[in-house]
Amino acid sequence: MDATKLAAGTESGPMSVLLRGGVVILTLLTAAIHASLGGLLFTLNAAVYLALAVAMILPAIAPFRWLARLALFGFASATIAGWLLFGARFQLAYIDKAIELALLCFLAIEVWLFDGGPVADVRRLRRLAAGMAGALKTWSAR
């Protein structure tokens, strides 16, 4: 049975459990590494990773999990880019970047299986932005 049939386009199949579990574990691992480094920047980085890990499993935001995925993908990408530009090169940093790269792979698979790919996410973002703009317009007209 291939991954698409296992996932069956839902976020409750066995593939979903494996992928989401991997995402949460990898996110918590990188959060723990950043928390162990100390300093304000690393502590805040760990806190954001922790919050995004919780967002990935919180049932209340299930309809917006696609947005949590995008936020986690963007945050991990920005963290890697920041390290490439400014980060110290030591063994734990390389291990953490490998974890973050694996996290990006897991997230990309989830986007393709459960969100319909990046094009579908862009459409969702445009609808969300249009809805928010409409709400702000209505609110400001009061």
Find the distance separating the first CA and the last CA of the chain, reported in whole Å: 56
Q: To the nearest whole percent, how much of the chain has pLDDT over 70?
A: 93
Rounded to whole angstroms, how far apart are CA atoms 65 and 54?
11
94: which 2 tokens? 């390389």
The rounded distance, in Å, linking the Cα atoms of 106 and 20 is 8
Assign 10 a pLDDT band (cuts: 50, 70, 90).
low
Q: Using a cut of 0.75, tell me whether the model's pTM lies above it.
A: yes
pLDDT tens for 109-136 read 999 999 999 999 999 999 999 999 989 8
pLDDT for res 11? 72
Tokens of 81: 């880019």
* CA 48 – CA 88 distance, rounded (Å): 21
pLDDT at 43: 97
Please say if the pLDDT value at position 34 is more than 80: yes
Packed helices 91-110 and 65-86: angle between N→C axes, nearest 10 degrees: 150
Q: Which residues in 93-105 are b (16+ Cβ under 10 Å) and which e?
A: eeebbebbebbbe
